Structure 1
Amino acid sequence: MFPLIVFIGANAPTTVERFPRGEAVHYREHALELGVPDDAILVEPEARNTGDNITLTRALLDSRAIEVGSVVLISRPYQQRRAYATCKKLWPEVDVSCASRPPPLDEYIESISDVDRVINMLVGDTQRITAYAERGFAIHQEIPNYVTAAYKRLIRAGYVKRLL
């Protein structure tokens, strides 16, 4: 389905214990175990944020003279909008699609084992959609009023640990 897979990333607060050598390294190893050919995989293990994910991957592909017309960004479900907006800002000439495994919220919370951490991550990522566009890191996106209202309620309830 994909001629090339680029696994990206060092660690995030929610993954450092699970992937101590970095997300990209562990995902590559898992793909190899599943039978993905090694020559179909590239690894960028230094990225520490979404902007790094895009710029470092683009540089890696450029260094190998790999022309890219389209990308599929695979991330956590709540990060898709921000990943898309960041890619459109930093790599506007590619066609961008986003995908994720869409588990029900309760299943996702169970996989992290910490409901407060998950809610704080959701609140922080919601803030970043607007804040990063204002800072020039991403394109602007409209946020529905009901999302903004829920976001503000969660902040008032104390979910502020992942705010900028």
Structure 2
Amino acid sequence: MITSEIMAAAQKLWDYHHMNHTLTPADCILALGSHDLRVAERAAELYLKQLAPLVIFSGGLGNVTKGVWTEQEADRFAQIALQKGVPAEAILIENQSTNTGENILFTQKLLHEKGLNPHRFLLVQKPYMERRSYATFKKHWPEKELLVTSPQTTLADYPNDEIPLEKVINIMVGDLQRIRIYPAKGFQIPQDIPEDVWDAYEQLVAWGFNKHLAS
């Protein structure tokens, strides 16, 4: 049972994971693949609002989609964008990456092969992965300008049949742990974690939300 105390702690993590960037026009939109098709819809929305002339979809099959989907995440995302009205010539696809670091590194390679060198990116990710994606991108591509966004939803409205609330909370807890430990591994730039956010994390771990913790 998800109590009001659990929801209050989870809300602290949800709010922290958001970067709250104000979006302005950029050179390209980079949408990171996952199980969440709403990310593709958000990327298409930004393109149709003329915030960037190019959309890159990055993602092979990751932890959640491997063994569940037969189509690569980026390919599935691109189909959604086409259905929403994004023209094929405005889309690039990188469909081999399996984690956020590879998303960035393989996108770098793709752009180099295409002779493209965008400087300003709009990165689209799941709501609870905004901050970790930002920290990973800036580690691997520090010279680029970056704004991060995600599907516009609340914590209460985000869960669905594919990713129920309990799973969302477990992933948020795991991602916060990674924000703390990954800089030392060279995976991300450091991010300050306020004391009250870390207290909420420790409460959630104590309540059993530890299924997504790194070993």
TM-score, structure 1 length as denominator?
0.93
CA contact (8 A) 1:112 1:118 kept: no
Choose which of 52, 58, 63 in structure 1 pairs with 2:102. Answer: 52
Residues 16-51 of structure 1: CA distance to partner in whole angstroms, max 9, x if unpaired?
587531211111011111221111100011111110
Give unmatched runs, 5+ long, in structure 2.
1-49
Note the C-alpha offset of 1:86.
0.7
Match of 1:114 in 2: 164
Q: Distance in 1 between matches of 2:194 and 2:81?
A: 37
Note the C-alpha offset of 1:15.
4.3
Larger relative contact order (CA 8 Å, sep ≥ 6): 2
Matched, 1:40 2:121: no
Residues 65-102 of structure 1: CA distance to partner in whole angstroms, max 9, x if unpaired?
10111111100111111111111110011001100113
Q: Distance in 1 between matches of 2:77 and 2:116?
A: 21
Note the C-alpha offset of 1:105.
1.0
Matching of residues 128-147 of structure 1 within 5 Å: 128-147=178-197
Matched, 1:160 2:202: no
Superposed CA RMSD in Å reads 1.6
Q: Distance in 2 between matches of 1:63 and 1:113?
A: 36
Match of 2:200 in 1: 150
Q: Distance in 2 between matches of 1:118 and 1:17?
A: 20
Task: Number of aligned residue pairs: give it.
Answer: 164
Q: Larger deviation: 14-23 or 117-126? A: 14-23
Q: Larger deviation: 126-135 or 16-25? A: 16-25
Match of 1:27 in 2: 77
Matched, 1:11 2:80: no
Runs of 4+ aligned residues of structure 1 deviating over 6 Å after TM superposition are none
Note the C-alpha offset of 1:115.
2.1
Q: Distance in 1 between matches of 2:153 and 2:68?
A: 19
Q: Distance in 2 between matches of 1:92 and 1:146?
A: 29
- CA distance 1:5–1:14, change in 2 (3 Å): same
Per the alignment, in what secondary structure is the counterpart of residue 72 of structure 1?
Answer: strand
Q: Distance in 2 between matches of 1:125 and 1:97?
A: 19
Give unmatched runs, 5+ long, in structure 1.
none
Match of 2:131 in 1: 81
Amino acid at match of 1:46: Q
Match of 2:114 in 1: 64
